[in-house]
Amino acid sequence: MLLSNACRDGALAAIEDINADPASPIEIIAVERDPQGNIDRYAPLCEDILTNSSACHVVGCITSWSRKEAIPVVEKHSGTLWYTCPYEGFEANDRVVYTHACPNQHLVPLIGWVARRYGPNGFLLGSNYIWGWETNRVARDLIADAGGEVLGERYLALGDTDVARLIDEIRATRPSFILNNLIGPSSYAFLEAYAALGREDRFFTPESCPLLSCNLTEAELPALNGVADGHLVVGPYFRKAAEANGWPLAGKRRCASSFEAAAYTAVAILADVLATAHGSRQADLQAAFSGRRFASPYGTVSVDPRTQHMALPVVIGRIAGPDVEALEITPSVAPDPYLSRYDRTLTFGRQTLRVVS
């Protein structure tokens, strides 16, 4: 609910700003449906929106599982899904616009940054569904490219909070870092248990063996009560970095997290596209994106018309209470959802040869 509420807040804030702008040639009316996290409800509710209302654009879905459920529906009804969450990549669809980060904008730079500073050996955790499977699959290749080893790879069912065996294996293997692709209650339970492990053995502290996350933001940090402090995250937007770098406000306010910023951006770009579509609800998105730049809470951004992914900043940060302190910012990284332009030497440098006997 924390993430879905953040995305909803961002979308509604954009609608409010657009409708309050006297220069806006359009008015946006929200049509809402709440699947309440029930995967069986996404497709029928999406179909309900597209067939029983005047809407043909859907801003929504949190998990990759729910996105996969919605895509056949928007294809069938010639709608468009605006997806506002970080995801595992290896997908492009002319009925989907992706306004959050893909792997070359989160996982690749994060592991590249960490491997140089903490070491290349990783332990991979994930919730047992698409995000965990695919992100860890890419991480295995990245760790190998860094000259490291995967010392363990374990999954929990969605919502499972029994993390004791994960802690035991991590204690035994002593990796350089842990990639945490658990979500929701599973992630919260692990973060709390790992903090307890660090109090017993100082090796398992952020300074020595950090946890890495590509999807943990300020939307969830207040619920963690400090147990994630010092650990490392990556994203296109963190509130303190946006403030320090003068990134645009969302109306009169600043987005509270990247989930909010991505949803705000989706609605803002959609409004811009519709305003230039001469009254048509069905815009030619590829033509609308070609050669264009759009204002967003990330700053001025572009959308690749071939993949409908956005060029985004990459911010590597350290968790500090309810906020994230920026450690490194790359102003804009072009999307590469299939990692077709990935170059190991650019990420990890050239490996030195070892003489073995």
Partners of 57 in the beta sheet? 80
CA–CA gap between residue 173 and residue 168 (Å, rounded): 9
pLDDT for 283 beyond 90: no
Please write the tens of the pLDDT for every residue from 241-256: 999 999 999 999 999 9
Residue 275 vs residue 101, higher pLDDT: 101
CA–CA gap between residue 11 and residue 84 (Å, rounded): 10
Residue ranges of E strands in 95-167: 96-98, 122-127, 150-156
pLDDT for 351 beyond 80: no
Q: From the CB of residue 327, how many other CB atoms can be counted at a distance below 10 Å?
A: 15
Give this prediction's pTM: 0.95
323-333 and 150-156: which strand pairing? unpaired
Q: Is the torsion defined by CA of 51, 52, 55, 61 positive or negative?
A: negative
Mean pLDDT of the chain: 95
- What are the residue ranges spanned by the domains of the chain? 2-101+241-312, 104-239+314-336
Predicted local confidence at residue 355, as pLDDT: 57
Predicted local confidence at residue 356, as pLDDT: 58
Quick one: average pLDDT of 262-276? 94
Quick one: average pLDDT of 111-138? 98
Q: Which CATH superfamily is domain 2-101+241-312 in?
A: Response regulator (3.40.50.2300)
Residue written as token pair 């995801």: 87
CA–CA gap between residue 222 and residue 28 (Å, rounded): 32
Q: In what order do the strands lie in the sheet with 80-83?
A: 57-59, 80-83, 96-98
CA–CA gap between residue 303 and residue 146 (Å, rounded): 30
pLDDT for 353 beyond 70: no
323-333 and 312-320: which strand pairing? antiparallel
pLDDT for 85 beyond 60: yes
DSSP 118-130: H-S-EEEEEESSH
Domain 104-239+314-336 matching CATH 3.40.50.2300: the answer reads: yes
Q: Phi/psi class of residue 212: alpha, beta or left (left: φ > 0; alpha: ψ in -120 to 50)?
A: beta
pLDDT for 279 beyond 80: no
Please write the tens of the pLDDT for every residue from 32-66: 999 998 999 999 999 999 999 999 999 999 999 99
pLDDT for 267 beyond 60: yes
Q: Which residues of 181-205 are buried (b: 16+ CB within 10 A; e: fewer)?
A: bbbbebbbbbbbbbbebbeeeeebb
Please write the tens of the pLDDT for every residue from 157-194: 999 999 999 999 999 999 999 999 999 999 999 999 99
pLDDT tier, 223 (very low <50, low <70, confident <90, very high otherwise):
very high
In what helix (H) or strand (E) does residue 191 lie, and over which residues does it extend? helix 184-200
3-state secondary structure of 262: helix
Residue type, 247: W
